[in-house]
Structure 1
Amino acid sequence: MSQPSVYPSVSPGDPSWWFSDALRAEGGEKPSPSLSGQITVDVAIVGGGFTGLWTALALRERAPQLSIALIEASLCGSGASGKNGGKVHGYWASLAGMAANIGADGALAVARAGTRAQDAIRAFATVPGRDVWWRESGNVRVSAAPAQDAKIQLYVETAKRLGVPDTAQALTPEQVADYCRSPVFRGGLYLPEGANVHPARLARALRKAAIEAGVGIYENTPMTGLTPGSPNRIATAAGEIIAREVVLATNIELAKRPEVSRHVSVFSSYALMTAPAPEKLAAIGWNRDQGLADLRMFVHYFRKTVDGRILMGSGSGPISFAGNTKNPALTTDRASAARAEKGLRRLLPGFADVPVEKVWGGGIDVSSDRLPFFRTVAGTRIHYGAGYSGHGVNPTYMGGQCLASLVLGVKDEWSTLPLCTRDVPKLPPEPFRAVGGRLVRWGIIGCEEAEERGVQAGVMMRGAAAIPKVFGLRIGTR
């Protein structure tokens, strides 16, 4: 039965359902003090999300003699780290694209590093007393339209060709239904590496662990300026940090920097959280803890929570011009919110009458080859990590390790990964990047929606969707 839109409006600055729940679990907002005055440390980290916090913990573990200060513009975990879907997995599902971009050996190295990250996050998340809703049962990708069927075989054949057949297992429609029943689910794919977590509670747990490890954390302290030098100087509204090493872990804000902007576009993703309906989950047979996603390029990603809700996300939000991180469309686009809700009603019609309690949006830094990259700014001791491309919970642990290795100046298993060493392709300059990206987005959304209706998209939509492939780009290619 068709349902009218029931989602709440989205407003800039609104926290995600995750972050509001995490603060409730802590007994309310209790921020660390903001920075006042001048301090001197060995390492200054800008950004209190997953990347910054994992970096701080990695440095405390590897070089406990270093003094570390971390500043966060708002509250730790309130940004992208507390807004995502909370699906935790590495890069086995990305083998085909990685092999084409960085070669088979590089793809396997990154995927195996992701498995090390998965092991480390599990170890952190399952420490007694850390209630971060860790549930591990793999991931299932489902075909939800005939045009998506062929992608299943690509996953399976790539895993076999690279000698890792157990990382991607084809599922029949009957096997998919054993995980979750839907009238639109067809065949699918089971990926053994996969877990779900409460992302904001994980971020807050990392914050607590960093404070206990001796990291100085200053919340509500945005960076207002950065002067490179020996040492570097970070300015804030009421203070200054003098530091030999600086780590920039500020997600889409890095798109403003020239060494990053040529390699990333600022997209957006929207997600919703339903009211609890455990009886509905039981009715569709979703009794295990795997996360699910369809096989669109602008993917629908969905998972359940421990209290019987469903999160549904859609990675199809607007593209910002010239990396403008203040563009309200990144957080308030009602059409994108509606696509997330439409995905919920279509993919899981058993939830057609379950209210949506919260909708939120946020920017994502999509790199030119969809992989993150970690670098040191030439001639400085300023390090940064960018380009997670909407896939952050597992890779941010990898990012923390890579950035710690760059800070320490060591050549190891992390700093020699392609994430730190490959040549990242350049994107077209503006205005071609944003205008072209918006045209391609329009074409792909139109084609994928037509495919789900069982019809062919118009010639203009198909032409727009084909632009990246025609010009040999690695971003936006279906």
Structure 2
Amino acid sequence: MNFSYWEIKNWFSTIDFTIVGSGIVGLHCALALRERFPERKILVLERGILPQGASTKNAGFACFGSLSEILDDLKTHSEEEVIQLIQKRWSGLQLLRKNLGDSAIDFKPFGGYELFLKEDENAYNECLQKLPFVNEIIKPIFKSDVFAKEVDRFDFKGIQDYLIFNPFEAQIDTGKMMHALLQKAITQNILILNQTTVTDFSDNGNSVSIDLGDFSFTTQKLLFATNGFAATVTNNQVKPARAQVLITEPIPDLDIKGTFHLDKGYYYFRNIDNRILLGGGRNLDFEGETTTAFGETEIIQNRLEELLKEVILPNTDFKIAHRWSGIMGLGSSKKPIVEPLSENVYCGVRLGGMGVAIGSLIGQELADLVK
């Protein structure tokens, strides 16, 4: 890196807060710090041209967990932990809407649906049986029942008779959301540098040294918001999880509206611009999808196309327009990690595939660690 005197003076000198990651968490952290410290210098470093990871690559679900996902979480977490997670996700969604506005993120409250394949009879019956119980334990959050049985009106094929409907779920335009967030950060005098990778850092007690390959600088505080890429800073408490996605060409007279979940949330689809966006399939190859490498695989893409042809659009011709992938951050617990790593270094990571829901709140909590 061959920086001039002017570049070093204006971008890399007297920095108070450096945030690594310009996604939902990183930018909300920066905005929260700006609110508390109006005169301090805030620098955000981003390894990609756009926010790398999942913030601009997710499906745009404003959700907090399908019924089968919640039941699955109750098998590995306490009831209290699951309720707290749902509360955080719901609070995070309201904070995102408050910070950016529904118009800026193209918020559409179409509701969410969970469908079950014919062969998923056990999961289907369990969900129907335990639906009243789940409604009861989360009622204090939503002040009314969340989940209800509903007859399929979308003409899906090969599924059980009833869908599970959730009126509190919505969809957003991920690109518009991140565009609005970036614009807001810039208007708040937050510096953002793209295609900049942190190769090492060292907490020296009264400041932190940050290496960018062959260039280094110091900052008073360093905050990591790198989620799926956070394994090295959290001693492998965060595992990367690749999510593969495809989207169709526009489909005339498409009558599917909403966000849809299938197979405990391992598959998900929605309408957008008269297209169907479909993602998931990580459960077909957990080991192969535990990676920070972007890309698509034949086994997962074939399964996504199979679901489109046989279940979602069985009587409709369609063409695939585009495919991509994003990197989430998962772990043995669904609880996010928001904690100090040393005296002047902090992290807010492990969003568990719920970045849209809790990203804004985790950014706020990360900023709150700074005293």
Distance (whole Å) between structure 2 residues aligned to residue 160 and residue 119 of structure 1 = 20
Specify which of 313, 316, 325 is matched with residue 279 of structure 2: 313
Shift of 1:406: 1.3
Distance 1:403 1:244 in 2: 15
Structure 1 residue 344 displacement after superposition: 1.7
Tell me what 1:300 maps to.
Answer: 267
**Cα drift, residue 36 of structure 1:** 4.7
Structure 1 residues 213 and 151, CA gap change in structure 2 (3 angstroms):
farther
In 1, distance between residues paired with 2:302 and 2:211?
Answer: 40
Aligned with 2:347 (options 348, 366, 384): 384
Maintained 8 Å contact 2:328/2:351? yes
Deviation at 1:79, TM superposition (A): 3.2
Partner of 2:323: 359
In structure 1, the residue matched to 2:46 is 72
The letter of the residue matching 1:292 is F
Secondary structure in structure 2 of the residue aligned to 1:214: coil
Corresponding residue SS for 1:226: strand
Contact 1:36 1:239 in 2 (8 A): no
Structure 1 counterpart of 2:307, from 335, 340, 343: 343
Flag the 1:350–1:83 CA change in 2: closer, same or farther, 3 A. Answer: same
Identity of aligned residues (%): 21
Q: Partners in 1 of 2:289 and 2:95 — Cα distance?
A: 36
Instruction: Report the counterpart of residue 110 of structure 1 in structure 2.
Output: 85
- Check the 8 A contact 2:242/2:289 in 1, yes or no: no
SS at match of 1:211: helix
| SS at structure 2 position matched to 1:82 | coil
Q: In structure 1, what is the Cα distance between the partners aligned to 2:66 and 2:159?
A: 22
Distance in structure 2 (CA, Å) of the matches to 1:264 and 1:344: 32
Secondary structure at 1:52's aligned position in 2? helix
From 182, 196, 211, the equivalent of 1:235 is 211
Shift in Å at residue 163 of structure 1? 5.6
- The answer on 1:171 being equivalent to 2:145 is no
In structure 1, the partner of 2:3 is none
Partner residue in 1 for 2:14: 40
2:100–2:181 Cα contact (<8 Å) kept: no
- Aligned in 2, Cα 1:302/1:353: closer, same or farther, shift over 3 Å? same
Name the residue aligned to 1:430: none
Task: Describe the superposition over 1:374-408 as per-residue Cα deviations: whole angstroms up to 9, x where unpaired.
Answer: 1211x332111222232211111121111111124
| Aligned partner of 1:291 among 244, 259, 263 | 259
* C-alpha distance after superposition, 1:5-42 (max 9, x if no partner): xxxxxxxxxxxxxxxxxxxxxxxxxxxxxx95332222
Q: Which has the higher contact order (CA 8 A, sep 6+)?
A: 2
Deviation at 1:149, TM superposition (A): 1.0
Residue 57 (structure 1) aligned to one of 25, 31, 50: 31
Aligned partners of 1:76 and 1:204 also within 8 Å: no
Per-residue deviation, residues 132-160 of structure 1 (Å, max 9, x unmatched) = 43212221111222233124236523324
Alignment of 1:148-159 (within 5 A): 148-153=123-128, 156-159=131-134
TM-superposed CA distance for 1:106, in Å, is 3.5
How many Å apart are 1:58 and its aligned residue?
1.8
The 2-side partners of 1:92 and 1:61 are apart by 34
* Distance (whole Å) between structure 2 residues aligned to residue 158 and residue 244 of structure 1: 49
In structure 1, give the amino acid aligned to 2:267. H
Match of 1:275 in 2: 249
2:298 to 334, 342, 364: 334
Which deviations, in whole Å up to 9, do the C-alpha atoms of 1:284-305 show, x marking residues without a partner? xx2x4x21111x1462100111
Q: Secondary structure at the match of 1:80?
A: coil
Q: Encode CA deviations 1:346-391: one digit per residue, 9 max, x unaligned.
A: 22134652100011123322211233221211x3321112222322
Query: Partner letter of residue 405 of structure 1?
Result: D
* 1:249 and 2:225 aligned: yes
Q: CA deviation at 1:125?
A: 4.1
Correspondences of 1:122-271 after superposition (within 5 Å): 122-126=97-101, 130=104, 132-145=105-118, 146-153=121-128, 156-162=131-137, 164=139, 166-172=144-150, 174=151, 176-177=152-153, 180-186=154-160, 187-229=162-204, 230-237=206-213, 239-257=215-233, 259-261=234-236, 263-271=237-245
Instruction: Indicate the residue corresponding to 2:369 in structure 1.
Output: 406
Let me know the Cα RMSD of the aligned residues: 2.7
Shift of 1:169: 2.0
**Is the 2:50–2:194 Cα contact (8 Å) retained in structure 1?**
yes
* Residue deviations 1:249-288 (CA, integer Å, cap 9, x gap): 122221133x340x33333211101001141x23xxx2x4
**Counterpart amino acid of 2:354?**
H
Look up the equivalent residue of 2:106 and give its one-letter code.
W
Q: Which residue of 2 aligns with 1:12?
A: none
Residues 137 and 322 of structure 1: CA distance in aligned 2, closer, same or farther (over 3 Å): closer
Aligned counterparts of 1:298 and 1:160: Cα–Cα separation in 2: 18
Q: 3-state SS of the aligned residue for 2:132?
A: helix
Displacement after TM superposition at 1:101 (Å): 4.6
Residue in structure 1 matching 2:335, options 363, 368, 371: 371
Q: CA deviation at 1:73?
A: 1.0
Distance 1:154 1:399, change over 3 A: farther
* Length-normalised TM-score, structure 1: 0.68
Q: Is the 8 A contact 2:89 2:354 kept in 1?
A: no
Normalized per residue, the structure richer in helix is 1
Name stretches of at least 5 consecutive residues in structure 2 with no aligned partner: 1-5
Could you say if the C-alpha distance between residues 143 and 127 of structure 1 is closer, same or farther in structure 2, counting changes exceeding 3 Å?
closer
Q: In structure 2, what residue type is equivalent to 1:152?
A: C
Q: Deviations over 1:322-358 (max 9, x none)?
A: 96534xxx52322222222222222213465210001
Amino acid at match of 1:181: D
Structure 1 unmatched runs, 5+ = 1-34, 409-478
What secondary structure sits across from 2:144 in the alignment?
helix
